Structure 1
Amino acid sequence: MAARGPRALSSTAEKTPSRRISGEDAHASLLEAARELFYYEGVRAVGVEAVVERAGVNKMSLYRQFKSKDDLVLAYLERSDENFWGYFNASMAKHPDDARAQLLQFFIDVSERASRPGYRGCPFVNVAAEFPDPSHSARQFVRRNKAQLLTRLRDRAEAAGATDPDALADDLAFLIEGAYTASQTFGTDAPRLIKSLPRTARVLLDGNIPAAVPARKPD
């Protein structure tokens, strides 16, 4: 989920002039255009014409790279997935030897990211809301991403010594999803609420991970 600053992203905005470029460059331009438009305006609200215009290529270039809009949506989700796990792993790397600190750090990082102006929420939550059919390929992709997140949270909870790693992972996942939603529904109050995320996560961690007992000094 690599973030960029908000842009004027209306599908009726100024068009990028169409140009002849290589297949590799066309693929990159189309995927970047889809990332911007799908994330800020919504997948269903954006047609392939808007993506083509934003990318500055012709429609034939799009269909050479992607068989359909659904394929383009999946490519967008794959890119979002790569970005998210890069972000998650970078957060974990800040405390390589302390699983509890890793979990807390992730919530600190999510809080900071979700408080930025122009933040549009979790791309996977957004896509899930747009596709009610659970059998749709986009919904299936979202489900895999969220299942992997739950697995990673459970792994870190177990490494941190949680009394019930499954329950703690469930609670933390629920907190994350609630934060993503609150970032979009509370308007001007959202940044203030999201800043409470690390505090709430700390309460969950303290309640589920026994405090370390100091080693007894030899007599």
Structure 2
Amino acid sequence: MAATGPTAGSRQCARDRILDTAFRLFYAHGPRGVGVDTVIAESGVAKATLYKHFPRKDDLVLAYLDKVDQSWFGALRAAAREAGDDPRDQLVGMFDALGSACRREGYHGCAFINTAAESQPGSDVHARTVEHKAVVRAWVTDLARRAGAAHPDRLARQLTLLLDGGLAAPQSALAALAPYVDAERREQALRLALGYEPAHRAEALGGLVPHLDEAQRSRAYRAMSEIDDPSTRAVGLAGLVAYLSPADAAEATEAALTTAAGLRDPVARTRLLTDLARRLGGPARDTALAWAFAAARTIGAEQRGPRFPALTDLVPLLADG
């Protein structure tokens, strides 16, 4: 008996090491992008040990998906429970799990969607991804039914599609949810958006701003102003102008225009100013068009290739102006 315990423990430890390694690699690169030899090398086990626990690579992928299912579905249910006892609150509260997942370092989207995209329909792996989505939808359908929804199946389809879309592009999900949640959750959504990497932050803030109060819009504006990439910053600021206080709107407009005008490459300058002209109105639009036209005239012959599409975008706006 004394010898049996450590041996069983060693087997369990080896299996856990293999699965933990596979989880990290498969999530970062996709199961197809990771060979068994890589899992063996990084988990520090012998090839025979891996195949003892997972005779096929698909067996390892299925174990990985089971582990993801326990983590994600568990987080969904926990977030729903934390929202209270009312099923209506739980349907909204479950989206808090989305925010927590997307804030995690090394986030790469939904493991089930990613794996389904690279697996063969009809295979065990693909069937497992479909099963997971069906189980989650059934759970949401039950919540919707208990919440008194007139069409619980339809609502569940809509909400699970929103969840999946949020996992793939969380910045879009925030904007989609904003009109339907209370002020506290809009504040949570804003805080989440402020933590995104710059490109996603700009998109998320642009979608949220129409649903925020004036103080929150000012915070969104300040955060947009701090984005390093000039094109992302300028377009983001232009998108906020209509929702800002007059002082902030004037400041954001000026910052967007001067940022675009400061680009050294005349093609990039022309295209960004043209984009701003589409987004701005009044005198700001006229300024953007005038500056875009001036920039276009400085595009040299050596940039003949990109010059044509830049002018193609600009000319219709000049004609309308």
Shorter-chain TM-score: which interval?
0.7 to 0.9
What SS does structure 1 have at the residue aligned with 2:148?
A: coil
Match of 1:196, as an amino acid? Answer: A
Instruction: Say if 2:77 and 2:94, in contact at 8 Å, map to a contact too.
Output: no
Task: Indicate the residue corresponding to 1:111 in structure 2.
Answer: 99
Task: Indicate the residue corresponding to 2:126 in structure 1.
Answer: 139
Q: What is the CA-CA distance between 1:78 and the residue it aligns to?
A: 1.1
Instruction: Say if 2:149 and 2:155, in contact at 8 Å, map to a contact too.
Output: yes
Matched, 1:196 2:175: yes
Instruction: Say if 2:80 and 2:92, in contact at 8 Å, map to a contact too.
Output: no
Distance 1:177 1:194 in 2: 9
Match of 1:153, as an amino acid? Answer: V
Q: For 2:73, which of 85, 89, 92 is the aligned residue?
A: 85
Going from structure 1 to structure 2, the CA distance change for 1:104 and 1:26 (only over 3 Å counts) comes to same
Matched, 1:158 2:145: yes
Residues 1-219 of structure 1 correspond to what in structure 2 (within 5 A)?
22-131=10-119, 133-183=120-170, 190=171, 193-196=172-175, 198-199=177-178, 202=181
Going from structure 1 to structure 2, the CA distance change for 1:128 and 1:22 (only over 3 Å counts) comes to same
Q: What is the CA-CA distance between 1:115 and the residue it aligns to?
A: 4.0
- Greater helix content: 2
Going from structure 1 to structure 2, the CA distance change for 1:146 and 1:201 (only over 3 Å counts) comes to farther
Q: Give the alignment's TM-score, normalised by structure 1.
A: 0.74
Runs (5+) with no aligned partner, structure 1: 1-20, 184-189, 204-219
Distance 1:167 1:202 in 2: 20
Aligned-pair RMSD on alpha carbons?
Answer: 1.9
Match of 2:81, as an amino acid? Answer: A
Larger RCO, structures 1/2 (Cα 8 Å, 6+ apart): 1
Distance 2:103 2:109 in 1: 10
Which deviates the most, 41-50 or 87-96? 87-96
What fraction of aligned residue pairs are identical, expressed as a percent?
36
Match of 1:166, as an amino acid? Answer: D
Instruction: Say if 2:21 and 2:39, in contact at 8 Å, map to a contact too.
Output: yes
Match of 1:73, as an amino acid? Answer: V
Distance 2:167 2:50 in 1: 31
Question: If you compute each CA radius of gyration, which structure gives the higher value, 1 or 2?
Answer: 2
Distance 1:29 1:201 in 2: 43
Distance 2:156 2:181 in 1: 13
Distance 2:123 2:67 in 1: 18
Aligned length: 174
Instruction: Say if 2:76 and 2:95, in contact at 8 Å, map to a contact too.
Output: no
Q: Give the alignment's TM-score, normalised by structure 2.
A: 0.51
Match of 2:150, as an amino acid? Answer: T
